[in-house]
Amino acid sequence: MKIDIKEVKPTNDQVWKKATLMNDHGMTVSLLNYGGIITEILVPDKDGKTENVVLAYKNLEQYLTNPGYLGAIVGRVAGRIPGAAFELNGKTYQLESNEDEHCLHGGANGFNHALWEIEPKALSDEVMVKLIHKSADGEGGFPGNVEAEVTYTLNNQNQLIINYTAYTDQMTPLTLTNHTYFNLSGDTKSTINRHEVTMDSEQFVELDEELIPTGKLLNVQGTTFDFRNGRRLEDGFNDDFIQNQVAGCGYDHYFIFANEKEEKAIVKDENSGRKLTIKTNQPGVVMYTSNNLVEGLELTEGVTKKYLGLCLETQGSPASLHHKGFPNIIREEGEVNKTQTIFSFGVESNDE
Ligand code: FUC
């Protein structure tokens, strides 16, 4: 097990730190203290070939804008807050809008653009970095001073464990996630169309044309959103179901976990044999299939394009700010909100 931290310069006047965590089984995770952005996850395929399974820009400078939120920690509130406004205890809070009149992923100066303090720590059986960021009362329009800590831990079971801790000194909405785009084919050899997803979910949040929750939960039964027994993503890309259509012919929806299984989501790529399993104590996940990814930005391999990556953004649901019956994101004064998501990588070969 090893950690390496070095300085990188995206531009002449900026210095970031890049941490590289390595385990004893050929798995490597690299991340920046800027936005807590994951820039590389190297894992072996079924033949032992180690390749990168996340989308990352070739030029670090691109992360300063990062329209697709590649690899980043997202907060204070991951997802969309319609009209960039919400009510709390009878008071209306107006946020900065950054997508038409809506607030997306915490606003223009969200956690994905913060330069986090970084502390490495190596133990005998795991390596980790802790990232720390303080967000002041009123930032982006949100109430409360928030102290966030996110740790990325790599162990010898080929698991990347992300722990989020957030303290607030006032009642406030908060739900953090990570916006990594996975592509298990390795070095973006192919799109995610044939990735097979299994998900422990019976219900998802209906969206309108602007990707804003309507307030209705839909049952997955009989739709392209039924991943309970596994389904290829291309089923939804090619279907005329209105919910796939509004999302740009794909998925960009919050799925509520049924909590029948410990493994909340499993992603498999038959060609490479790679398998990603997700466990979390979050109540659900936004599954986004990069339907609206800005195209043509240079990546470490290839360029950004539609269906190139799969985001599995475990989080609470911002729809709960305006509708009843959705997983809560309001944190109480003095609360320390703790969540965890575990990404486990493995292989499954067909000829076994
Ligand atoms: C996801 C989506 C959005 C958006 C963004 C970059 O979380 O829900 O639609 O395009 O990330």
pLDDT digit string (tens) for the chain, length 352 residues? 999 999 999 999 999 999 999 999 999 999 999 999 999 999 999 999 999 999 999 999 999 999 999 999 999 999 999 999 999 999 999 999 999 999 999 999 999 999 999 999 888 899 999 999 999 999 999 999 999 999 999 999 999 999 999 999 999 999 999 999 999 999 999 999 999 999 999 999 999 999 999 999 999 999 999 999 999 999 999 999 999 999 999 999 999 999 999 999 999 999 999 999 999 999 999 999 999 999 999 999 999 999 999 999 999 999 999 999 999 999 999 999 999 999 999 999 765 4
Catalytic one among 102, 133, 179, 253? 179
Known catalytic membership, residue 179: yes
The number of domains in the chain is 1
Is 352 among the domain residues? Answer: no
CATH assignment of the domain containing 214: 2.70.98.10
With tokens 């329209």, the residue in question is 67
Record the pTM: 0.97
Tell me whether residue 126 is one of the annotated catalytic residues: no
Q: Rounded distance, CA 291 to CA 78, Å?
A: 18
CA 113–ligand 1 middle distance (angstroms): 16
For ligand 1, say whether the CB of 102 is within 6 Å of any of its atoms. Answer: no
Does residue 299 lie within any of the structural domains? yes
Ligand 1 centroid – CA 233 distance (Å): 17
Question: Which pLDDT score, from 0 to 100, does residue 349 have?
Answer: 73
Give the helix ranges, DSSP H, for 142-301: 234-237, 242-246
- Determine the pLDDT at residue 124: 82
Can you give the pLDDT at residue 123?
84
Instruction: Examine residue 329 and state whether it is found in any structural domain, yes or no.
Output: yes
Residues 6+ apart with CB under 8 A from 91: none
Show the domain range for 199: 2-347
Residue 351 confidence (pLDDT): 53
21 falls within a domain: yes
Q: Is residue 205 part of a domain?
A: yes
Nearest Cα residue to atom 7 of ligand 1: 79
- Is the Cβ atom of 57 under 6 angstroms away from ligand 1? no
Determine, yes or no, domain membership for 130: yes
From ligand 1's centre to the CA of 69, what distance in Å?
8
The per-residue DSSP string of 97-161 comes to P-BTTBEETT-TT-GGG-B-EEEEEE-SSEEEEEEEEEE-TTGGG--S-EEEEEEEEEETTSEEE
